[in-house]
Amino acid sequence: MESIKTKYNGKNDYGLVKNYQEALQNKDFKELVQNLNVPEEIGKKYTSKLNDTVLELEHCKKCPGLINCQNKMRGYVNYPVLSDDKINFIYTPCRYQRELIKKEKKKEASLNDIANARIKYIDGSDGNRAQVIKWIIDFYDKYEEVNTLKGLYLHGSFGSGKTYLIAALLNELSLKKGANIEIIYFPELLRSLKDDFDLLEDKMNYLMNVDILLLDDIGAENVTAWGRDEILGTLLQSRMNNKLTTFFTSNFTIEELEKHLSLAKGTEDYVKARRIIERIKQLTVDMSLVSKNRRS
């Protein structure tokens, strides 16, 4: 019995070595095991999984982005790590996935900043912000639960703190004066509505009726006739009719936003863009904020 078992193990080991040696004829496979300093005694046991890694790395070389990823787990390579007498395979993010993770962490940090924004935390040391800060404090003092106060169209330099300033005001109004508020990143709103039309009616009804709404970063979206006319136009018309306070932040001036909104996927429609701008003007006071980049 012992001799049969020994004979079987010998044949099995020969097959492992043979497969491993054949795999080493592939320069990418050979380079991988050399970089890992994998001894043959260990490497021969993992030939198939190492070949899978080589194939995934080859996919990555030609990959234009996450949406076209051909690997088993999108955005990741099942990469080998030598540990004592075995190889562990760990899903390791590719360059596109690492960039996405980085962006998501920044977004999460930004959302936390916005959620915790308060008037008392506003940095008033920059004189460029004085006019906006004064407006915010005045608005807070004048606000009542049922009001017809105009909001703010706050435009200016990238990273100057436009969203934080308005969020600080809205958070204070929510906590201390009972206002129902909503802060929406406008490009994300359009994406979410487009991806799930079942949400459209409920989401629009909510946004049309919430006490105070901030449409953040308007102008950063890719303009379509649907997004401009059916979503933005309908939303603003309703809020204007009901005299509900609406805020905007943008990197565009009002005039620049009008030009931006007039161009929808190769078409030009200045009349419809003008209608949007007139609604924004009815809803807001126009102010500029040019300050240092606080994100850097």
40-to-11, 27, 53 alpha-carbon distances in Å: 17, 16, 17
Residue 267 has pLDDT above 60, yes or no: yes
Average pLDDT value for the chain:
88
Size of the chain in residues: 296
Q: Give the CB-side neighbour count of residue 151, counting CA atoms within 13 A.
A: 29
| Rounded (to 5) percent helix, strand, coil in the chain | 60, 15, 25
pLDDT for 194 equals 84
Residue 120 has pLDDT above 80, yes or no: yes
pLDDT for 5 equals 45
Residue 112 has pLDDT above 80, yes or no: no
Residue 191 has pLDDT above 90, yes or no: no
Identify the residue with better confidence: 282 or 198: 282
Local confidence band at 288 (pLDDT 50, 70, 90 cut-offs):
very high
Local confidence band at 266 (pLDDT 50, 70, 90 cut-offs):
low
Residue 66 has pLDDT above 80, yes or no: yes
Q: How many angstroms from the chain centroid is the CA of residue 48?
A: 37
**What are the structural domain ranges in the chain?**
2-97, 116-289
Using DSSP, state whether 181 is helix, strand or coil.
strand
Q: Does residue 118 contact residue 172 with C-beta atoms inside 8 Å? A: yes
Identify the residue with better confidence: 115 or 170: 170
Quote the Cα angle for 37-42-48, to 5°.
Answer: 100
Q: Does residue 251 contact residue 220 with C-beta atoms inside 8 Å? A: yes
The domain made up of 116-289 is a member of CATH 3.90.1150.10: no
| Range name among 15-19, 77-81, 232-236, 284-288 with the lowest pLDDT average | 15-19
Q: Does residue 257 contact residue 228 with C-beta atoms inside 8 Å? A: no
pLDDT above 90: percentage of residues in the chain: 60
Query: Which residue bears the tokens 């979410």?
Result: 192
Rounded average pLDDT over 127-136? 92
Separation CA 68–CA 97 (nearest Å): 12
| Range name among 112-121, 157-166, 215-224, 259-268 with the lowest pLDDT average | 259-268
| Tokens read off for 295 | 């994100």
Residue 273 has pLDDT above 80, yes or no: yes
Instruction: Annotate 187-245 with three-state secondary structure.
Output: HHHHHHHHHCHHHHHHHHHHHHHCCEEEEECCCCCCCCHHHHHHHHHHHHHHHHHCCCE
Relative to beta strand 267-268, strand 263-264 is antiparallel
